[in-house]
Amino acid sequence: MESIQVSLKGESIQALPKGISAKAAIEQLNGAVPPEVFAVKANGVEIDLLASLETDSTLQPLMFDSPEGKEIYRHSSTHIMAQAVKECFPTAQLTIGPAIEEGFFYDFAFERPFTPEDLEKIEARALEIIKRNLSVSRREFSKEEAIEFFKSRGEPYKVELIQGFPDGEPVSAYTQGDFVDLCRGPHLPATGYVKAFKLLNSAGAYWRGDERNPMLQRLYGTSFPSKEALQAHLDNLEEIKRRDHRKLGKDLDLFSIQDETGPGLILWHPKGAQIRLLIENFWREQHLANQYELVYSPHVARLDLWKTSGHVDFYKENMFAPMSVESSEYQLKPMNCPFHIMVYKSHLRSYRDLPIRYGELGTVYRYERSGVLHGLMRVRGFTQDDAHLFCRPDQLGEEVQKVLKFITSMLGTFGFTEFKMFLSTRPEKAVGTIDQWDQATLALETALKNGGYTYQEDPGEGVFYGPKIDVKIQDALGRSWQCSTVQIDFNNPERFGLTYVGDDGKTHQPIMIHRALLGSIERFFGILLEHFGGAFPAWLAPVQVIVLPISEKHQGYAQEVEKNLRREGCRVGLDLRNEKIGLKIREAEKAKIPFMIVVGDREAEAKMVAVRQRNGKNLGTMPIIDLVTLIREDMPESVKKGSLLFE
């Protein structure tokens, strides 16, 4: 019999009969297949556990703990959900059902939306299918056979999908019990491998994501290898709901979005505005300390400016329509860049003037379809913490390195210390010479390496005008958010004819860098709000401390305390309502005010304050100045006046 060389992760190589299943091969090499293993990577390609090996193979067992394993597990789970739907509602037609982050979905063509009762029924059936422990098997067809097969099963969407496949290549399907689905695989060997399954919710979705196509019914679910892991995930989802910035923004009276004002346009209420002001003041201070110059620019400009910048040609669908003023066309700004360029152009620049760094908290307006708007995260008007740097080619590396340091220190101040960095290189369609791209990409790479940052390369994912670095942070719930970006631009200096006089007396073109640290103030505020669950640290809290007199006769002393705290620079509230002290404390806790001062006879006599934290902890009785010190100590070093963020 012909034999092939098979190894487990490159170890214990053995000659085994050609055509042996991956499972049998692992048994030969390892003695047994652990029950957690449900698929295999053979020479880097994911295959079924029962697939046969035809060539020399290096095997790597796949379990739920790997991204590939998770995908196979979730994808198999969505087949189980689809089978349950077909058993409960035989007229439902199958479309697609991929694994997604944290779970899976499946889209069905069905005559009506699924009701909550339907979902219960489907979930119960899915659990039953898991219990049946149906074995899952792969079958291959020719394209024509596959079309006939799915036609005969009344699955027109599957037929349409197969018709789009290349001719002459085999089409695979997976069968479990009576259920057959078109699928590339691989799959779990049997339905019983799914240990914990949950149907989450339903939503409408268009076939192929196109609103001209029929509306489908999408079911979302998730699955895990243990009940405990599923429960932890569901708890996390609950926590995400509890921390939803739209809910917290309303509960804590921080901001609103009102239909009368317009969707995607934010109204900042006093408490939200107070927090924003603190963020912005800190931002400005740090930019000045780090040798940026701050500028302001208008919210509209002649349309011609946006023609020069290329926005009219390349960014039109994201812009509001132009307006006519005295027979001239004007455009609401979608970006700040052209204005900073015009400031640069207002003088003749010499190589000695560079680098020039212009920063602005610049409010921009972009057209987003109403369907994609989402609280503070996706809006139509927002303020970018924008800056544009103009430098010589020899300064590029150092400038980028400084920006990266600025990013990590700025975000670190707000409690984000986990960073993921991504370097995006030249896409197929790009302006600038290969030489320019190589130099700029090298500068970005060097800056990342010199800063000691680990990063991932995204080949071809750069913007058409230059390479970039994106930075993602991780919040308290482990979710990733992209806030910061550093982008090199070869395009705008060319379009606007930017120059500087070099030490050779000739004119040269500066390199332009676009960068944002927080991204947009609105979105960053939304992220912060969810990160802290509304319980802002004292240095950011709109009200840091509230004074609560026990009864009317303590009001005089309470007012005195309030005035003293205010004089010391604290943001202080005073609750003089004729309510029970228990209720006042509960409401202050709900408002997530970091410190509460309860004032009664004893405190008034001793000229002291009894301090309580929002988590219920009593800090005891202390002189007012001690509380002031406590509040000041909460401030990160970089926020305390006079200290630089870096250098």
Sites of contact with Zn ion (CB under 5 A): 183, 337, 514
Burial pattern 589-617, b for ≥16 Cβ within 10 A else e, equals bebbbbbbbbbbeebbeeebbbbbebeee
Helix or strand (DSSP H, E) at 158: helix 156-163
The least CB distance from residue 97 to Zn ion, in Å, is 7
Catalytic residue among 217, 384, 401, 544: 384
Catalytic residue among 181, 386, 470, 489: 386
Helix or strand or coil: residue 121?
Answer: helix
Per DSSP, helices labelled H in 475-623 are: 491-495, 521-531, 555-567, 581-590, 601-606
Residue whose CB is less far from Zn ion, 71 or 87: 71
Residue whose CB is less far from Zn ion, 61 or 97: 97
Which residue sits closest to Zn ion, CB atoms considered? 183
Catalytic residue among 183, 337, 391, 570: 337
Q: What tokens were used for 82? A: 């689809």
Report the candidate in 446, 430, 557, 552 with the shortest Cα–Cα distance to residue 494.
430
Q: What tokens were used for 451? A: 């800063």
Sequential DSSP letters for 439-460: HHHHHHHHHHHHTT--EEEETT
Contact indicator for 186, 72 with CB cutoff of 8 Å: yes
The least CB distance from residue 107 to Zn ion, in Å, is 14
Catalytic residue among 75, 388, 402, 523: 388
The least CB distance from residue 64 to Zn ion, in Å, is 17
Alpha-carbon distance of 392 to 571, in angstroms, equals: 45
Contact indicator for 324, 390 with CB cutoff of 8 Å: no
The least CB distance from residue 135 to Zn ion, in Å, is 15
Half-sphere exposure of 533 (CA within 13 A, CB side): 10
Known active-site residue 83: no
Residue whose CB is less far from Zn ion, 514 or 584: 514
Known active-site residue 337: yes
Known active-site residue 402: no
Residue whose CB is less far from Zn ion, 170 or 556: 170
Alpha-carbon distance of 56 to 2, in angstroms, equals: 11
Alpha-carbon distance of 563 to 280, in angstroms, equals: 26
Known active-site residue 514: yes
Residue whose CB is less far from Zn ion, 129 or 183: 183
Contact indicator for 76, 136 with CB cutoff of 8 Å: yes
The least CB distance from residue 218 to Zn ion, in Å, is 17
Residue whose CB is less far from Zn ion, 19 or 98: 98
Alpha-carbon distance of 633 to 373, in angstroms, equals: 39
The least CB distance from residue 44 to Zn ion, in Å, is 20
The least CB distance from residue 362 to Zn ion, in Å, is 9
Known active-site residue 366: yes
Catalytic residue among 514, 531, 554, 571: 514
Rounded (10°) CA dihedral 447, 450, 452, 455: 30
Residue whose CB is less far from Zn ion, 72 or 199: 72
Active site residues per annotation: 337, 366, 384, 386, 388, 468, 514
